[in-house]
Amino acid sequence: MFQEFINYLHFEKRCSEHTVTAYQTDLSQFQDYFEIKFITELNELNSLTIRSWVVHLIDSGLTNRSVNRKIATLRTLFKWLRKEGIVNSNPMAKIQGPKNEKRLPIFAKESELEANKLSEMYDNDFDGLRDELMVELFYQTGIRLNELINLKETDVNDQHIKVLGKRNKERLIPISAMLFQQIQEFIIEKRKLVGETKFLIVLKNGNKLYPTFVYRKINAYLSQATNLDKKSPHVLRHTFATHMLNRGSGLETLKDLLGHANLAATQVYTHNSFAQLTAIYSQAHPRGR
C-alpha cells in the first residue's frame, strides 16, 4: 500500500527523486514505530497516537524543521488514503507541528567566488570543464540540484536556459554571453569524448549525473574557496539569491528566477541583504557609526 502511495508521488504528483526518497524514509520510520503491517491498522491510528510519534521524534533530538517535514509527509499520505477510500478519517487534521527555528540561508562572499580565483581550482581536462560549468550554473542561475541534473542541450540558447522545476513548473533564466560560450565550449569537448547526449552535463562515460556525485564535487570546490560550515549545491543557490538582492534585484524578480511558488519563500533572503545594507550604511553615512 505504501508502494502505491510512492508511485502516486512519482508518477502523478511528479515529485523529484530526492523528494520521493525523503517520503520513503519518513514512512519507513513511521511504519517501524507503529509496526503497521496491515491496512486495517491505519484506521486505528488517531491524533493522540500520532502525537506520541511526534513527541518521540522531538525527544530523539530531531530539529523542529525535520519533525515538521515528517508531519507533512503524513499529511500527504492520509490525504491520499482518504481520496482512495482506504481510511475513514484523517487523524492529521488535529496535528500541529513544533514552531520552526528561524534559520538564515548560508551563502558565500562575492570575493570568495571571483572567477579568476575559482578558475585555478579546475583541471584542464573534461572533468575540469564539466565541474567549472556546474559551479557556474549553480552560482549564475540559482538552479536546484535536480534541475541541473535534468538540464538538456535543447534547454539552452544564447539568451537563457529553460528549467523544469518543482511540480513540472517551467521557467526561463537569463544567462550571460560568457556563460553561454562556456556551455558551447563544454558541448564541443563532450562530443569529442562521448558523442551527442540528451543531457547537457554528463559523466565522463556519457552517463547521466546523479545527486551524490554533484554534491561531492560542489562540496570539494567550496571547501577550497570558502570557510563555510555547510558546502552544497543549495549553498550556491542561496549565494545567487543573496548576491542578486545585494546588487539591487527586486523580490518579485528573484522569486521568478528561483521558481518559488510564493513570495514568502523568497523573503528569507532579505535578512541577509539587510545585514549587507547595514554594513554599507555604517561606512557611508557620516553618523552611521
166 tagged catalytic? yes
At which residue does the C-alpha cell 497516537 appear? 49
269 tagged catalytic? yes
d(CA 243, CA 240): 5
d(CA 185, CA 171): 24
User: In whole angstroms, how far apart are CA 19 and each of 6, 110, 116?
Assistant: 10, 31, 36
287 tagged catalytic? no
- Nearest-5° angle of CA 179, CA 182, CA 183? 90
Catalytic residue among 166, 171, 215, 217: 166
Cell readout for 132 is 567549472
Catalytic residue among 23, 139, 221, 269: 269
243 tagged catalytic? no
65 tagged catalytic? no
Catalytic residue among 70, 144, 238, 255: 144
User: In whole angstroms, how far apart are CA 43 and each of 20, 38, 39, 40, 53?
Assistant: 24, 10, 8, 6, 16
Catalytic residue among 70, 190, 231, 237: 237
Q: How far apart are the first and last CA of the chain?
A: 63
Closest CA to 243 of 121, 147, 111, 145: 111
Contact 74, 50 (CB under 8 A): yes
Compute the radius of gyration of the chain from its Cα atoms. 22
Residues tagged active-site: 144, 166, 234, 237, 260, 269
